[in-house]
Structure 1
Amino acid sequence: MPKNIVLSPNYIDKFKCIGGECLDSCCIGWKVDIDKRTYQNYRVCKNMQFRKKLYKFVKRNRKSNSNKEYAKIVMDIESRRCPFLNKKNLCDVYINIGEESMSNTCTEYPRYYSKINGVLEKSLTLSCPEAARLILDNQELMNFNESLEENIKEYAISREIETNKIKIHPLEKYFWELRVIAIDIIQNRNYSMDERIILLGILSDEINKCIIDKESNNIPNIIEKYVVRINNNEYKEFLKQIPNNIDLKLKLIKGIERLKVEKGVNAEFTNIIGKALVGLGCIEGATDEEIKTKYISVKENYNHVLEKKYNYILENYLVNHIFKNTFPLTGRKNIFEEYILICVYYSIIKFNLTGLSAEKELTKEEIITFIQKFSKAIEHDSTYIDIIEQSLKDDKLNTMAYMAILIKD
């Protein structure tokens, strides 16, 4: 039997769904798509009594042309709970007609699959509490394992990349080199987390300019140069000289404030944001100067916990993001736009955790829970992030100079 080459982070084999014991069920709070094969099977379900329930709550998605989003489950309007999730938080589809009858979405989540030159890549999304715990709560560097598995299952591939084509974009041609150095930079613990993200940006910016100037053959030399300079700590003095501009941070904090009223963002997450904003001084009637002063006073609490105690948590978050989303080929216009997305995610997480640190020192569990909630509410719906990014473009803040100022504390 043919075998697949599989590349995956070392956490992947440890994951197991904990079902009804989960504190944040994946069957509550968002839409659930049903693939065409599953929908058609539901229409001819032999369990006649259960078929009535399937007919009632599984409806065609007429707005989609995709077989992956062929239909959808009609969630309860008030609780946003899946109608097939019973009182014990167990799946009635699984119980009544078996695991093989579950949709791709329900069977695979939180697993995420990509294919690079025929190699199957497996990872997990952080919106699942158990996955978030496995991914983030690990002080060791995240490692990746290559293995062989029998080709007995058809996976729902989210992204497929071929870097061996005749006509190929430079980011595809040098995909592996860029991905490896990105992960190496984020895992370089000789630098603070802020510094690592800035270094990744400086590299991404130079690579992007190199491609624009049609000098992409120079990319390997640029990568080699950065490897040497970073390992020799040649950027340390430059990083110290980056100014600390509170005004730019305030702009993003104000953007985060919009999440409280943004349509579609779940209530639980907006409540957390509300507490964070109070911690940052964003209360009714507060002036910009008062918010800046409050931010400066509370950020030391954040630095103590996230930089000195649990800095590996954000490191693991970023490494998982780079691997799972196949950076630098995440589907955006260029490598620097993909880098800006990382900056926006990181900054939103950082500012909220700073606000939540105002009253007390955050525990490891509280930090991981916030990142999981953020992933569930924001990373699975690009609407809000698109607004933030467009705002940065409109104000001409989408440059490396501004990103460095935004990130540095």
Structure 2
Amino acid sequence: MLRVPYYYPSFQCTGSACRDNCCIGWEIEIDQQSFARYRNLPGTMGERLRQSISEAGGPHFLLHGEQCPFLNQEHLCDLILFAGEEQLCQICRDHPRFFEWFGSFQEAGLGLCCEEAGRLLFAQREPIAFLELEQSLPGEQKEAPPPLLDILFQARNTAFHLAQERTLSIEERCALLLDFADQLQSALDLNSPDLIPKLCKQAEDPIQRAALLEQLKQEACWEQESVFQGMLSFYQGLEPDRQSWMKKLRQLSVALPELLKLQSAFLAACQERNHEYEHLLVYFLFRYFLKAVFDLEVLPKVKLAVCSFLLIYLCDLSTFSGTGTLTSDQRVGNAKDYSREIEYSPENLDAFYLKSWEEDCFSLDALFSLLFTHKTKG
């Protein structure tokens, strides 16, 4: 069984129409099966392949400047033109798809570092739904599902419910998600997963939600600018993929006081598109929440979803400050830039998970205060 977002089967690479080609600026590793095939491929293309591959540190293509040696002047792949997509190495066939195996149960999605994946994510106003397909991924793992899978699967469904509760603001939903994750984490820390179904039921109760939100709002006392500056400082300390990203973060930090003054105008101009932030939350929950079945750390996964939304929101606010508008392409671009820098760097993801326990700006008190300082309509 393969579970995917409803738009997953619709994905098709836009090829030369892509404005940020994935064949540029990425190191392209070659799996062993493809490497063996390339070594034995006859003719001119085989010779060209062998001259374009380095084995140092594992097989990979030698970039020409920053681009793959098989990306031609029309921004099309010569390997595909030569023999079709089946000639590609595994990473090129898969990208931007991501996969997760939970025993015989599997999931797949489309990573936001691809602008077409972003366009598909944001295209529909309706809540994100999921499909269950009667197929298996290559390399299926045969071992039994992790013992906690069913319980955490139920908890993730509750998280989806909270993220898509459109009677609440996006910020209120984020706060409920964080509180829910904190309770889940406590249950896991106490080795009491049997408490989780009850926590799910409580989290979905409208009366209990309303009381909890009122309590959290009254206790919020941190100053918004200082929390955002702390977050920006953390992200500036990570290893960048592109220097343009570091420049953007520095600009956000300098301009932050003025940007925050523009929130009301920004939210008024984009109020019909807040479902896009909802979709962001669901994307991050889908991609990362269930990974807690392997390390028992669910709270950092939900903090990642919320903080990702907040930083992308800040990038959107900065874009709006320069033009007075935020186009769909600009929102896709901001999400793509963030995803490339954070999601596609295992080191940066690990750094976030670690510091989400330690940094003041990622504490629940700080995040609740930040969320309740500004409001958007659901």
Deviations 1:257-291 (A, max 9, x none): x27xx6542244445545545543xxxxxxxxxx3
Distance in 2 (CA, whole Å) between partners of 1:263 and 1:325 is 21
- Unpaired runs of 5+ in structure 1? 63-69, 281-290
Specify which structure has the higher proportion of helix.
Answer: 2
- Does structure 1 residue 115 correspond to structure 2 residue 101? yes
Q: 1:403 aligned to 354, 358, 367, which one?
A: 367
Distance 1:382 1:305, change over 3 A: farther
- Does structure 1 residue 56 correspond to structure 2 residue 64? no
Amino acid across the alignment from 2:122: L
- Does structure 1 residue 250 correspond to structure 2 residue 226? no
Offset at 1:175? 1.9
- Please show how residues 381-396 of structure 1 align to structure 2 within 5 Å: 381-387=345-351, 390-391=354-355, 393-396=357-360
TM-score (norm 1): 0.81
- Please show how residues 333-372 of structure 1 align to structure 2 within 5 Å: 334-359=297-322, 360-372=324-336
- Assess if the C-alpha contact under 8 Å between 2:162 and 2:177 holds in 1: yes
Paired position in structure 2 for 1:265 = 241
| CA RMSD in angstroms, aligned pairs only | 2.8
Q: What is the percent sequence identity of the aligned residues?
A: 20
- Assess if the C-alpha contact under 8 Å between 1:115 and 1:161 holds in 2: no
Distance in 2 (CA, whole Å) between partners of 1:55 and 1:230 is 65
Paired position in structure 1 for 2:165 = 188
TM-score (norm 2): 0.87
- Please show how residues 247-326 of structure 1 align to structure 2 within 5 Å: 247-256=226-235, 258=236, 264-270=240-246, 272-273=248-249, 276-277=252-253, 279-280=255-256, 291=257, 294-306=258-270, 308-326=271-289
- Does structure 1 residue 32 correspond to structure 2 residue 28? yes
Deviations 1:9-53 (A, max 9, x none): 111122111211111111111111111000011011112x22232
- Does structure 1 residue 233 correspond to structure 2 residue 210? yes
Paired position in structure 2 for 1:10 = 6
| SS of residue in 2 equivalent to 1:197 | helix
- Assess if the C-alpha contact under 8 Å between 2:289 and 2:302 holds in 1: no
Distance 1:393 1:323, change over 3 A: closer
Q: 1:99 aligned to 74, 79, 85, which one?
A: 85
Amino acid across the alignment from 2:4: S
Amino acid across the alignment from 1:15: F
Size of the aligned set, in residue pairs, is 370
Distance in 1 (CA, whole Å) between partners of 2:17 and 2:341 is 21
- Unpaired runs of 5+ in structure 2? 374-378
Offset at 1:104? 0.9
Q: 1:174 aligned to 137, 151, 154, which one?
A: 151
Paired position in structure 1 for 2:376 = none
Distance in 1 (CA, whole Å) between partners of 2:95 and 2:234 is 30
